[in-house]
Structure 1
Amino acid sequence: MPRLQFLEPIQMLLKMLVDPALQGKRRRFKAEGVVTSPCWQLTVKILEARNLPWADLLSEADPYVILQLSTAPGTKFKTKTITNSDHPVWNETFTFCIQNQVKNVLELRIYDEDSIKQDDLLFEFLYDVSEVLPGKLLQKTFTGSPMVSEELDVEFLAEKILDLPENLITNNVLVARELSCLHVHLYSTGSVVRTPEQEKLQLELVLKGSYEDTQILTLGSASTFLFYYLTAQETELSGRVRSSTDNGWNSPSLTDQFTVPLKPLTKGKEMTIGVPAPYAPGVRLQLKAKSCPKDLAVHLGFNLCSEEQAFLSRRKQVVAKALKQVLQLEEDLQEDEVPVIGIMAIGGGARAMTSLYGHLFALQKLGLLDCVTYFSGTSGSTWTMAHLYGNPEWSQQDLQGPIQYMQEHMAKSKMEAFSSERLRSYHQELNLRAQQWYSTTFVDLWALVLENMLHGQEVHQTLSGQRAALEQGQNPLPLYLSLNVKENNLETLDFKEWVEFSPYEIGFLKYGAFIPSELLGSDFFMGRLMRKLPESRICFLEAVWSNIFSLNLLDLWHSLTSSEEAWKQHIKEKMRNIEKESSVSGTSSYLDTSWLQPGTALAQAFNGFLKSRPLHQRSPNFLHGLQLHQDYRGQKNFSTWADCQLDCTPSQLTPQEPQLCLVDTGYFINTSCPSMFRQGRSLDLILSFDYSLSSPFEVLHQTELYCRTQGLPFPRVNLSPQDLHQPRECHLFSDPDCPEAPVLLHFPLVNVSFKDYSDPGVRRSPAELQAGHLDLSEATSPYSFFNMTYKEEDFDRLLRLSDYNVRNSQDAILQALRMALKHHALGTKPPRVHM
């Protein structure tokens, strides 16, 4: 009997291979993350409003309502205007086609129509339609704040559309829906009549909600173009003929318009229509809708990509060999016994770059560099990383070469970077990027200036090119970190999202969405690659990772006035607000109705002045078009990285933004810690390198606070008064009460014993004492944040200090490595054996 039970799964598998009836089961297993879900028709009836405020002192409001669903792109409805009424009655009905697997939040806006100036927005209501039960009529009254008495009555009905199921791809946070491609072929059976006033006629075609939205082409010659749109979208193609010389676009003789509903257009079959163009008879449009490829160019998933998983297997062999040697182990470590060790370097401009060279140099001398699996950095530390990974064998070769290279360039005058010849070359390259469809900004100029200051020449290296340094597992995996922020309506503390860069992929930790690193800057829609651009050189990414220019006035104010305690209080307050909102509205399928009342025009203008980023960086948003899952807030991976109130409002999150705005992580916390806690990495030991001048533990305390508020296993940072008064070269932290937390060895930038010792255990002679003196005071130090030129002796001293501090901590590092071995063993459970 046991033998038969053992054979049953094999027999079932063989049957699936030959039985067509079971083929679907096998395909669904392979297509993990793919679900089929019907669409629904949402009927919304705007009934009436009461107690609306007067628009001005002389008359009552002339109200109308705008209805919009971000998950039904291109669909926007408007009621009729009721003149002079604080109690308008509309009784108008509108329908939306919605997908119930996504978060559908209806936006209802009441405006006051004005014939002289722009219409005033009176109120805005956001309503999660998941409250509407299928087939049951729901009437809801939306009310304002307790201080006002405005009300809006709306009636809802949801009904399933049986003939419109969709195949969705989802990671339970983001959803990619089915796309169709509309092929449009323009041709003419007659001749275009031109007059002196009309030299050329153009056809404007609009498909709202599509990737292209609007396309304009010249009549008189055959042409073919495409529109990509949601398959379930109930929309229409609209067009009109106009003259290219008509700036107003409203010439009475050329306003002939036409519309073509796309719903009746059968996939694969052609439809031909005539264009009503009196001045261009015989113009025809041939339409044909086709399905788009189902495969995504965006990786939707929180798991590590296959390339990183393969790298880990290769790197473990290198790490196992190195650990055996430095710890003098008697036996070889098996793959599942190898701990995961990471370097976590923070920013600090040229100071961070120089110090990191020293730290790596020391680790290499001690034979410890091969023990490291991950190498993360931000801001200035990424300059070191980008330079080193230009050489695929950098950690296996003497670091004295790249150090000397950087020392020579740091000692040079940086004025040459601003010479007329260099400025011309910058202008030429920025023009070339513009021709390649890149949106160039001041940050791109900063990239070229920074490249010249650090290297004096163009560096023809790309992020994806760094994969060569990982092919044999010969180096740690580099991880670069940035923040995505709002371009013009929020300060960084109010909204920020971690964006990780590696040679394999780039993506959001919060959304579980990643793209191959060579595709950053290319255009995406609904997870599909629309237009591929040439990969940018590494300097343009270095400028993103150290982008200190995209600040707004509120960011600047906080950086100038906030103390560490004020920052901590701010973060705690933010987390309390999120927890309070989550407890009210729930964390999964339902979002409470929210009511927004706009401020005055003056208040809005002042708010925009404070929060706009005049020098912001722009990069196409590869999440464009993707929609949020109905239960996105209930997913652990999303909630781990959701740390602002805006996470409760789907229409305000990044998938709705046309562009990304990437800034230095120092706008929030100067740390690369989040990369260490990505699912699947499970670090056992973190070597933390801090390059702060004035507060050697500030970033560490901020990181601990942030991680604990987010539920991330970070060790307790317990420091004695003596440690705070006089920090040592390294400090070891662990947390027995939190076994998931890695061991952490923190290296602040301090000059404790280096001033008296040239090497560990070797006291300086009186003639050498001057070489041990470093000015690390924030006010007078040559290593200030904005200094990009170091004297050779200053570069050498900072390098030697960092090198010495690590080598002088060799015993502590070895102790931490042994703790990491034990930590990994405790965290690895033996597989169950079935008898």
Structure 2
Amino acid sequence: MESLNSLGINCTADSVPHIALLGSGGGQRAAVGLVGSLYQMKKDGLLDTLLYLGGVSGSTWSMSSLYSDPQWSTNMNTAVSKLSGPGVELEQALGWLIERAKEEHFSLTDVWGALTSAAFMKQMDLRHLSDDAGQNATNPYPIYSAIENSFSDGPIEGKWFEMSPHESGFPEMGLFIETSLLGSKFQDGRLLEKKPEMDMVKLQGLCLQLQEVWRKVKIFFSRGLRRFWNPYKPASCFQLIDAGLFINVSYPSFLGDKRDIDLIIAPEFSAGNMFEALDYAAEVNKPFPKIDDKVLEERDWPKDCYVFEGKDKEPTIVYLPLFNRKNCKGLFHKHTLKERGTRIFWRIFLLYRFTAYIISSRIPLLL
């Protein structure tokens, strides 16, 4: 509230808007991009306005790194410096993998988690997600997202899976367990066997996996959930994979009544489908602002900023594609965005051009 008032936006404790920033997928580009966006928001006095920070795929790399510091939102310089740190010794990463190899469901996902943590985020973070439950309330509340893939013929409502410091589960079906029990065995809502909670290295591998890499997480929520898909052959575990393969921004966890979001700030660091959440929201009957057909025609060559104004229970969405006609004008043709956009030069050049222009000029005006 103090941050909003300092920006000239008068509000009381009862009228503070619920604002979420949702980082997209996009690998290392998304990890760096999210930190850059948050850094710029801090400089402009906007970071403290965020109630939630959500992420999928590449953005979860930087989220897990950020929250290793309980005071990160007041110390963004440290968060940025980690990205250029010395990294992790090979022996440390291999030691972690050797311990994971002793577990029942060791897979390539563990290898990917170790690689992500050691090579890209420069730390092997062994804390648990539930440890963040008591963190500084000035930090935005984190929501990590994945999708459930074993029931390929199941309903779309049962695909999205979210993990927060307090609970994890299927938001649209109202099925949750305590995050400290994530990985344990349940049946008919009853705890059968408590297993150690996964650490953040493993969670990074879970949220950001290659196309065919998946991890089995043993969770049974209720008999009703099994009947919802297949009453005769219930699977022994859920298969959680990269949510970016489904929707590359974590909209599903922030639509509807549960979090009552007023404003979503959605920086898009990928070069994929710009408006993929629209069809999803319509299919699950979630409130989502109307997007004009003329805007949808721009998905392959978008502008730098879109504001989709919400009505009634619809959140207003500020959509910020990194690869857009303003940033990329004169640099390369639109049809080569995806191929050339992954080069390190373009990542860094466009990232800071994007954050400096969009975050400092458009967001304050909207607020």
Task: State the TM bucket, normalised to the shorter chain.
Answer: 0.7 to 0.9
CA distance in 1, matches of 2:292, 2:261: 20
Equivalence for 1:404:
81
Task: Please tell me whether Structure 1 or Structure 2 has the larger radius of gyration of its CA atoms.
Answer: 1
CA contact (8 A) 2:341 2:347 kept: no
1:747 to 2:320 alignment? yes
1:754-773 matched pairs, under 5 angstroms: none
Match of 2:160, SS state, is strand
Distance 1:423 1:465, change over 3 A: closer
Which among 207, 223, 233 is matched to residue 627 of structure 1?
223
Equivalence for 1:816:
366
CA distance in 1, matches of 2:224, 2:281: 25
CA distance in 1, matches of 2:232, 2:45: 49
1:704 to 2:254 alignment? no
Equivalence for 1:685:
263
Match of 1:628, SS state, is helix
CA distance in 2, matches of 1:618, 1:725: 35
CA shift for structure 1 position 492: 8.8
CA shift for structure 1 position 803: 1.7
CA distance in 2, matches of 1:500, 1:751: 29
Q: Larger RCO: Structure 1 or Structure 2 (Cα < 8 Å, ≥ 6 residues apart)? A: 2
CA contact (8 A) 2:169 2:176 kept: yes
Letter in 2 for 1:483: I
CA shift for structure 1 position 734: 1.5
Unaligned runs of 5+ in 1: 1-319, 552-614, 633-645, 757-771, 785-789, 818-835
Equivalence for 1:483:
147
Equivalence for 2:55:
377
CA shift for structure 1 position 782: 5.9
Letter in 2 for 1:439: H
Identical counterparts, % of pairs: 26
Distance 1:391 1:652, change over 3 A: farther
More helix by share: 2
CA shift for structure 1 position 628: 1.9
Distance 1:467 1:802, change over 3 A: farther
Match of 1:692, SS state, is coil
Distance 1:513 1:491, change over 3 A: closer
1:429 to 2:107 alignment? no
Equivalence for 2:249:
671
Match of 1:407, SS state, is coil
1:732 to 2:307 alignment? yes
Distance 1:324 1:427, change over 3 A: closer
CA shift for structure 1 position 652: 6.4
Equivalence for 1:781:
340
Distance 1:668 1:794, change over 3 A: closer
1:583-594 matched pairs, under 5 angstroms: none
1:17-416 matched pairs, under 5 angstroms: 320-329=1-10, 333-397=11-75, 399-408=76-85
Unaligned runs of 5+ in 2: none
Letter in 2 for 1:621: I
CA distance in 2, matches of 1:407, 1:427: 24
1:562-577 matched pairs, under 5 angstroms: none
Distance 1:774 1:477, change over 3 A: farther
How many residue pairs were aligned?
A: 365
CA distance in 2, matches of 1:511, 1:323: 34
CA distance in 2, matches of 1:497, 1:725: 27
CA shift for structure 1 position 429: 1.6
CA distance in 1, matches of 2:324, 2:247: 24
CA contact (8 A) 1:743 1:816 kept: no
1:524 to 2:190 alignment? no
Distance 1:395 1:511, change over 3 A: same
More strand by share: 1
CA shift for structure 1 position 375: 1.1
CA distance in 2, matches of 1:338, 1:709: 30
CA shift for structure 1 position 522: 1.6
Match of 2:231, SS state, is helix
CA distance in 1, matches of 2:157, 2:258: 26
CA distance in 1, matches of 2:286, 2:155: 19
CA shift for structure 1 position 705: 1.4
CA shift for structure 1 position 669: 1.9
CA distance in 2, matches of 1:669, 1:806: 23
1:466 to 2:132 alignment? yes
CA distance in 1, matches of 2:230, 2:285: 22
Distance 1:685 1:395, change over 3 A: same
CA distance in 1, matches of 2:301, 2:216: 43
CA distance in 2, matches of 1:741, 1:692: 25
1:440 to 2:36 alignment? no
1:708-723 matched pairs, under 5 angstroms: 708-718=282-292, 720=294
Match of 2:135, SS state, is helix
Equivalence for 1:802:
354
User: Could you tell me the TM-score, scaled by structure 2's length?
Assistant: 0.87
Equivalence for 1:34:
none
Distance 1:390 1:773, change over 3 A: farther
CA contact (8 A) 2:157 2:284 kept: no
